[in-house]
Structure formats: structure tokens, C-alpha cells
Amino acid sequence: MRQPGYPRRVTPIEELRAELPAGRVLTDADVVEAYRRDEARFVEPGRPLGVVVAADVTDVQATMRWATRHRVPVVARGAGTGLSGGSAAIEGGVVLSLIKMNAIVELNVDDQLAVVEPGVINADLQNAAAEHGLMYAPDPASFEISTIGGNIATNAGGLRCVKYGVTREAVLALEVVLADGRVMRTGHRTVKGVAGYDLTALFVGSEGTLGIVTEATVKLRPRPTTDPVTIVGIFATLPAAGDAVNDVMRAGLQPSLLELLDNATIRAVDDWKHIGLDRSAAAMLIAQVDVEQPGETALAIEKAFAAAGATYTAVSTDAIESAELIGVRRMTHWALERLGMILTEDVAVPRSQLAQMLARIEEIGREFDVVIATVGHAGDGNLHPSIVVDSDRAQPAAEAVYKAALALGGTITGEHGVGSLKRDWLPAEIGEVGMHVQRALKATFDPLAILNPGKAL
């Protein structure tokens, strides 16, 4: 019971509310619930003290200064589309939402770059660039709802990365709020720039564990002036599809995307949309060409598919048909979610090992008696096996997938990030010395370990 004459002690979250403009701090339990988890439903989030909805960089600075004083963990969050638990809330921490920081600050046609806040939706930037004959190349499957800040946090890839690279290749400079609230700028607006260590690249893919990105300068590219052409190949075996991928890339045909769907995925899409896909096919490859004169290259890819054993091939005849074929690939995640709760994995192997990895995934499904549906950016060797979580065998099956990828010279994550799902497997990939260096970097930028603790490392 409070003694007469003594004021009630202000709690840390009340102190934060007093330091920020009205409405920035949310503590209502029902409202906070919407910010607790990302799309990695397999990860159980903690219960935060509240949510800060930042409107500008000063809100982020104030939040980090407060967090440093009270040693409160902070989890930065965009749209919550992550698949590794990277933005799952931490017990007793604060979720820092950047979704309202969504301004395209500058779009510079001459220098082919844009300056954006982290809450800008990927598709909105693409549309804005398109008005000037430009494009922002990275396009994760969630591009219509995911934010640039989240894409930067995980070094997202997407369908076009086989030709244009992942997010890291598109980021020129960053504004970052450090753990103690200081603001640091990294990188440059110039085509070249090698002054100092490449801190920009370090922050891309750091999953909010080193600092909070509050502004990004990103590279734009000239948009193709002709409609892309899409090529489809149907295969009776997964090794044949893997051989086709290798043949296309070895021939230097440079598709702008080269995607794979396995039989389980084909069936899931067709069960949902009833579009007449070949339900007996072991695999479907979807390639696209976006060069100025795409016809010749598209036909060469079709021939490569046929030579590798495709039982059926087709080339789009117009822009509408091309978009419809790509739409089949983009709807796979939601089609698979209809099968039940899924654990979406994100391994990558050298392209030469793609067929072996696909075969191993099939074996793992049989070994653990789980349903595994695989899609992937085949041109990069990046596969997304989605395991239907209907038993306690799902997690051991996922770990078997990690182990198989590493054995083939691959990685446990190509673009989704380590998050909390794969943290225990990171040492197996980077080794003891690598872990020591990673922890040293973390301690340099975040000595109190308040930035997304328990994630990535």
C-alpha cells in the first residue's frame, strides 16, 4: 500500500509514453497481440511491455535511449511477414514498429536511386520507380505486403534475384539508430565508394541485432521496355528438372527468374485454384526472360527444358499469359498454408547440387513420415521445403534438411534469416571461430544485448 505523501512510482513503460508524442506507445493487450509474432507460427513469442509505433527517426532514438537506460530488449518490426521468427516479441521487451515510417523521401532518376524509410512497401517502391521507367529489382514473394526495412533485415531475395541479385546488392547507404540512440550513416550515393569498412553490407541481413534502420538509399535499374516472356516446363522426375536448371544456367541464357514447384506444391495450387495443372508432374519449372528481344532466348530455354527430359513445354504468347504463369508461382505459399500449419524452410545449395538436394528432401519426407512441399528459386539453388506441422516429427525433419544442405556445401538460410528458428544450427555452418567473431561484432554495436536478443546468434 502506498504511503500517504509519497507519489506513485512511474513504471518504465509510463516513462517511455511520457517521452514520446501521444499515441506512439500502445499497451492495450488486444492491440499488442497483433504485434507479437511474425509468419513463423512455429515460434512462440513473448509478451512485451508494449509497442512503439514510430513516426520518425527521433521516436526511434528516444526509444533506444530509454531502452538503454532500463536495459529493455527492443525488437524492430516491419510488416511481420518474416518466416524465421526474427521479429517475434521478447518477454518483457518492447516491439518497435516502423510501419508508419513509410515515405519515399527521394526518387532520383539521373542517379537511378531512391531514398526510402523502412516502412515503405516493396511494391509501392516498385510502382513509384516504374513511373520513371525504372525498377527496384529485389522482389520477394511477399513484395505486395513486405517492407523495405524487413527486406533489408533479412537480406531478402525473391524471384528476380537469379539475374539481379539479393537486397544487399541493391542497398547503397543506410541511416541507422544504434543501441544507445546515436544515429550513424553508412555507405554512399555514388556508383563507387570504398572508404572505410563496408558497414552497409554488415547491417543488411543483421536481423535488427546491430541497429535499427531508419532510412535506406537503394539502387534502381532501367526497366525493360518490352514485356517479359515466360517459359514453362513439366518434368516426370526431380533430377530431370535439376538437370534443366543447370543446362540453362551453364548456357549463359540468363533468365530473370527460374523457379521450381514440386508435385506436392503443384497439387496444392491446383486444389485451390483448379487451373488444370499437371497433377502427375514431379516438377514444374517456370522461367522468365526480360531482355529487349526475348523471343530467341525464350526458345533456347524451352529447348534446354526439352533436352533435359521435359514432357511438356510452353512459351507465353502475350503479357497477360506471362503474368498468369508467374502468378502460379506467387500463389504457392498461400496454397500450401491451406494444407495446415507449415514450417517453411529456406536452404540453398550450389546449383550443381540442386537435383541431389531435391532427392534428399523427398527421402526426408518418407523417413520422417511428413508432408514436404518444395518450391524454390532454382536458378540460385535456393529451396523452400514447407513441412506440414501435424506431428512432433516436423522439427526433426527440418533439422535433417539443414544437415543435408550443409553436407552438399550449402547454407541453412538463403534469404529468410536465422531468426530464432535456426539459431542453434548457425555454429554448424560458420564454425567456432566464425561464431566468436560474430559475437564480438554484436558486442561492439550492442554491448547491453538489448537489440533483438536471442535472434540470429
Higher-confidence residue of 133 and 8: namely 133
Helix (H) or strand (E) holding 26: strand 25-26
Asked whether the domain spanning 226-330 has the same topology as the one spanning 104-222, the reply is: no
| Encoded amino acid at 107, one letter | L
Q: What is the pLDDT of residues 356-366, one digit of tens each?
A: 999 999 999 99
- Which single residue is written with the C-alpha cell 496454397? 335
pLDDT band at 6 (very low <50, low <70, confident <90, very high): low
Q: What's the rounded Cα separation, in Å, for the pair 25 and 445?
A: 25
432-457: average pLDDT:
97
Q: What is the pLDDT of residues 324-334, one digit of tens each?
A: 999 999 899 88
Say what percent of the chain tops pLDDT 70: 98
Domain 226-330, CATH class in plain words? alpha beta
Residue 66 pLDDT greater than 60, yes or no? yes
pLDDT averaged over every residue in the chain: 95
Instruction: Please name the residue ranges forming H helices in 20-82.
Output: 29-33, 57-70
Residue 301 pLDDT greater than 80, yes or no? yes
What is the model's pLDDT at position 4? Answer: 59
The pTM assigned to this predicted structure is 0.94
- Grid cell, residue 109, equals 532518376
- By the 10 Å C-beta count (0-12 exposed, 13-18 middle, 19+ buried), 269 is classed as buried
Say what percent of the chain tops pLDDT 90: 92
Range scoring the smallest mean pLDDT among 3-12, 34-43, 264-273, 426-435: 3-12
286-305: average pLDDT:
95
3-state secondary structure of 152: helix
Residue 1 pLDDT greater than 70, yes or no? no
Q: What is the pLDDT of residues 365-374, one digit of tens each?
A: 999 999 999 9
Q: What's the rounded Cα separation, in Å, for the pair 345 and 389?
A: 12
226-254: average pLDDT:
95
Contacts of 51 (CB under 8 A, 6+ apart): 25, 26, 27, 31, 32, 35, 94, 95, 96, 97
User: What are the extents of the domains in the chain?
Assistant: 12-97, 104-222, 226-330
Q: What's the rounded Cα separation, in Å, for the pair 251 and 379?
A: 13
What is the model's pLDDT at position 391? Answer: 78
What is the model's pLDDT at position 9? Answer: 82
What is the model's pLDDT at position 7? Answer: 65
Tell me how far CA of residue 21 lies from CA of 68, 69, 119, 168, 212, in angstroms: 19, 19, 19, 34, 20
Residue 308 pLDDT greater than 90, yes or no? yes
409-427: average pLDDT:
96
Q: What's the rounded Cα separation, in Å, for the pair 80 and 146?
A: 8
- Grid cell, residue 14, equals 509510463
Residue 278 pLDDT greater than 70, yes or no? yes
Q: How many CA atoms are closer than 13 Å to the CA of 202, on its beta-carbon side? A: 18
In this structure, what is the dihedral angle of CA atoms 243, 245, 247, 253, given to the nearest 10 degrees? 170
DSSP codes joined into one string, 87-106: T---TT-EEEE-TT---EEE
Q: At what angle do helices 238-250 and 294-307 cross, to 10 degrees?
A: 140
Residue 78 pLDDT greater than 80, yes or no? yes
332-353: average pLDDT:
92
Residue 279 pLDDT greater than 60, yes or no? yes
What is the model's pLDDT at position 98? Answer: 98
Q: What is the pLDDT of residues 171-220, one digit of tens each?
A: 999 999 999 999 999 999 998 999 999 999 999 999 999 999 999 999 99
CATH architecture of 104-222: 2-Layer Sandwich (3.30)
Contacts of 62 (CB under 8 A, 6+ apart): 16, 19, 20, 181
385-396: average pLDDT:
90
Q: Please, are residues 119 and 78 in contact by the beta-carbon 8 Å criterion?
A: yes
Topology of domain 12-97, CATH: 3.30.43
Q: What's the rounded Cα separation, in Å, for the pair 160 and 228?
A: 12
Query: If you count them, how many residues does the chain have?
Result: 457
Q: What is the pLDDT of residues 35-63, one digit of tens each?
A: 999 998 888 999 999 999 999 999 999 99
- Grid cell, residue 405, equals 544442405
What is the model's pLDDT at position 2? Answer: 53
Residue 347 pLDDT greater than 80, yes or no? yes
Tell me how far CA of residue 394 lies from CA of 43, 365, 387, in angstroms: 13, 9, 6
- Grid cell, residue 398, equals 527440418
Q: Please, are residues 241 and 260 in contact by the beta-carbon 8 Å criterion?
A: yes
Contacts of 446 (CB under 8 A, 6+ apart): 179, 209, 210, 211
| Encoded amino acid at 30, one letter | D
What is the model's pLDDT at position 239? Answer: 87
Residue 5 pLDDT greater than 70, yes or no? no
Is the alpha carbon torsion for 166, 219, 289, 158 positive or negative?
positive
What is the model's pLDDT at position 203? Answer: 98
